Amino acid sequence: MKKTQLQALRVSAVLWVLWGIVHAFFGVAVMSMDASQGFAAIAAGVAPEAVGGEYHPAVAAILNQHAWNLLWFGLVTTIGGVMTWRRNMTAIWVCAMVGGLADSGYLVFIDFGGFATFVPGTLMTLIAGSAIALGGWVWLSERKTSA
């Protein structure tokens, strides 16, 4: 692996660890909130009073399931980021699949819907996209040299 590839791989790894920590944190935070606070935290581009109010317990349960997903997405990509730092080529794919698919839903429904703020929402999507691009470039480069 060339020095440039190693640097790109390490940047990708750091980006995934950052992305993972933020998502795990928000997963725990949303699980500890009531439903209206949780919705306000996720749809940060919407005035909190617009999503405030009483929700049926089933709605809160669905929100907690979403928060659980944020937590495990975050944990998997954090571990995957560490493994990517250690040059594990499979970890590049794991992070890209878990983080990329998780953020694609956010991008389509929250970002494009106009319900996000730049920080942390859109910024996390840009971080995931950058990590995928860097890791993908290294993976493709290594695949060509190892074949």
Q: How many CB atoms lie within 10 A of CB 54?
A: 9
SS3 147: coil
Q: Indicate whether 93 pLDDT > 60.
A: yes
E-assigned strand segments in 22-128: none
Question: Average pLDDT in the 29-49 region?
Answer: 95
Give the residue among 82, 75, 77 at the shortest CA–CA distance from 101: 77
Burial of 31 (0-12, 13-18, 19+ CB in 10 A): middle
Q: Indicate whether 70 pLDDT > 80.
A: yes
Query: Radius of gyration (Cα) for the chain, nearest Å?
Result: 17
Question: What is the pLDDT confidence band of residue 1, given thresholds at 50, 70 and 90?
Answer: confident
pLDDT of residue 146: 65
pLDDT, one tens digit per residue, over 126-138 is 999 999 999 999 9
- Rounded to whole angstroms, how far apart are CA atoms 7 and 61? 42
- pTM of the shown model: 0.93
pLDDT of residue 147: 57
Instruction: Enumerate the domain spans of the chain.
Output: 3-146
pLDDT of residue 97: 97
The angle at the Cα of 63, spanning 57 to 64, to the nearest 5 degrees, equals 90
In the chain, the percentage of residues whose pLDDT exceeds 70 is 99
